[in-house]
Amino acid sequence: MMSNQPTAAQVAQPVRTDAYLDTLQMFTGVALILFMWSHMILVASVNFGPGVMNAIAGFLERTYLAQTGGPVIAFVFLVHFVLAARKLPFRAKEQKAMWEHSVRFNHLDTWLWNVQAITAMIILIMGSIHMWTVLTNLPITAAKSAARVQTGWWLLFYLLLLPMIELHVGIGFYRIGVKWGWITRSNRKGLKRFENKLTLVFITIGLITLFTLYFIINPA
């Protein structure tokens, strides 16, 4: 009589595939975290004057980093979302089960995952709009950035997008450390506080930059 139980090889293959996909998700996540921190610092250079931001943007243009890097980041962004979407609860039944699970256990890391999942969906839409708007209107200049922020609903758009990105990036940085072992039970509280402070610092830098673009820079 033949057994219907799966063999070790049949069980191991999906597990190994998931491990590869999780590793790729981690690398794309780390790449996006580093990009977002760098992007924030580069845009914040406008706080030292439009000429500083224009000089940096000009360098990126002359070296074709803006023209090639933008599409590459957009591709990494899409790959990361597809990989992460394997675990997102898209169906109403799954969302209800996830919410009940979160309330029942009331565990910080579970709530952080929920925040990351929600911000991911918001960033997918708003981040795509932002990238399309910037990449189809090169070259990047302080005047163009100021004109966009000072026009229509763009200021409110960025006031929402800014904390969504920084929360997602900060939580992602923390969860990668937990998942891959360099954040342990002994140092978790300290590194979590560090991550919270880092997120707050980048949100503050972003708000100051938006203030500069809206009130200080002349888009004419």
Beta carbons within 8 Å of 102's beta carbon, 6+ residues apart = 110, 111, 114
Of 177, 196, 172, 179, nearest to 120 (Cα)?
A: 172
Q: Is 107 annotated as a binding residue?
A: no
Please, are residues 148 and 154 in contact by the beta-carbon 8 Å criterion? yes
Cα gap 110→114, rounded to integer Å: 6
Q: Is 80 annotated as a binding residue?
A: yes
What residue type is assigned to position 10 of the chain?
Answer: Q
Long-range pairs for 103-111: beta carbons < 8 A, 24 or more residues apart: 109/175, 109/178
Q: What is the sign of the dihedral through the CA atoms of 146, 151, 156 and 162?
A: negative
Cα gap 177→183, rounded to integer Å: 5
Task: Give me the residue label for tokens 């888009």.
Answer: 219
Q: Is 168 annotated as a binding residue?
A: yes
Annotated binding-site members for heme b: 39, 80, 130, 168
Annotated binding-site members: 39, 80, 130, 168
